[in-house]
Homo-oligomer: A and B are copies of this chain.
């Protein structure tokens, strides 16, 4: 299925621009643009200091505008997880895209090959991960078909994904990766570009020391695999990986040459629970759910944000008070409601109509629930709506 045509922004959304935060309906996903910009600056500075490339993951924000903003700040391009996300990013003017995932369905690979052709013709680049001989053969077939169809000589950059402990996709580090490299190099439309060694599970390990230990092993396994490949006379240009939780470890490893971290831009409640590594930039929460109280009882109040407005796979959202300590705890109230209870005995309950701000547990699937984000400058209390950020790849699953 091709990327969907997105409808134009509604008049009521456009009219919001220039208005106070008070005018934002609830529940709505709001970006604190000042905090986001500070996060972006900190990331750019970090990667400059460590002399490492960054290719932030657009699966988090799914917005071509934010992808372009990151590239203006120094990112080399974006990562995505899905072919449809790559198409949405390309449609939004992003020209260097890495599908950090395996694609095996022939009709999807035909789309991948078409996109590779288009980006190659525009001096851009499409990259993709593989973890099986079958996957490489199917990709090569699709690229050859596209070349014959178009008469052009499109190329796709191919990364061999190795499983450095995530336990999901990827071949084991070592010989199997080398065999895949040989297979890739048999096909003229495929260019072996390096290794992907992403350790997703490490991102959410709370102890900074444990994260360092885990990524040290991952880096050793990537280095060992790289050495095996280079021993056959094949250069390994790049090892790529890392998320916001572990990025300081990959950056310091001497093995990784590119960081894929994406969540730093918005910083969700889950990442904020990690013990901060001293080397890690101090990223701030920049993504919030504006919600309001719609029912108030004696022992609890109810707000209008439930898990149709935020994902709960990494826990419930946290109540955020822009100018103080939260006195309320958010409890699960189902798809459309949140239950608010005093965070400590005697703390007052909010009244009907009171506005609250929530920090989502996990940015990526939360953003995917919304067609747009409302960008605010000047803070959550007295700020003004500056822009509407379209979630171009919302629901882009295929």
**Chain A residues proximal to chain B, CB less than 8 Å:** 1-2, 4-8, 10-13, 16, 25-28, 59, 81-82, 101-105, 107-108, 131-132, 134-135, 163, 167-170, 200, 292-297, 300, 302, 307-309, 311-313, 332-337, 339, 352-353, 364-365, 368-371, 395, 397-398
Contact = CB atoms under 8 A, between A and B. Distances in A.
B27 A302 contact: no
Contacts of A398: 25-28
Given A10-B5, A27-B397, A353 B295 contact: no
Contacts of A293: 104
Contacts of A292: 104-105
A131 B296 CA distance: 9
Nearest to A170: B295
Contacts of A28: 1, 397-398
Contact of A104 (B300, B309, B336, B353): B353
10 contacts: A1-B28, A2-B10, A2-B11, A25-B107, A104-B294, A105-B292, A132-B295, A168-B302, A169-B302, A313-B335
A5 B2 contact: no
A295 B335 CA distance: 32
A16 to B, nearest CB: 8
A352 B132 contact: yes
Contacts of A294: 101-105, 135, 169
Contacts of A395: 369-371
Contacts of A308: 364-365, 368, 397
A185 to B, nearest CB: 21
Contacts of A309: 397
A352 B27 contact: no
Contacts of A5: 7-8, 10
Contacts of A337: 168-169
Given A27-B398, A336-B59, A10 B6 contact: no
A12 B107 CA distance: 12
Contacts of A307: 311, 313, 365
Q: Can you list the 5 inter-chain pairs with the closest CB atoms, starting with the nearest? A: A169-B295, A25-B398, A5-B7, A81-B336, A102-B294
B4 A4 contact: no
A334 B168 contact: yes
Contacts of A104: 292-295, 352-353
Contact of A26 (B2, B105, B333, B339): B105
A105 B25 contact: yes
B352 A82 contact: no
Nearest to A129: B295
Contacts of A371: 4, 395
A209 to B, nearest CB: 24
Nearest to A309: B397
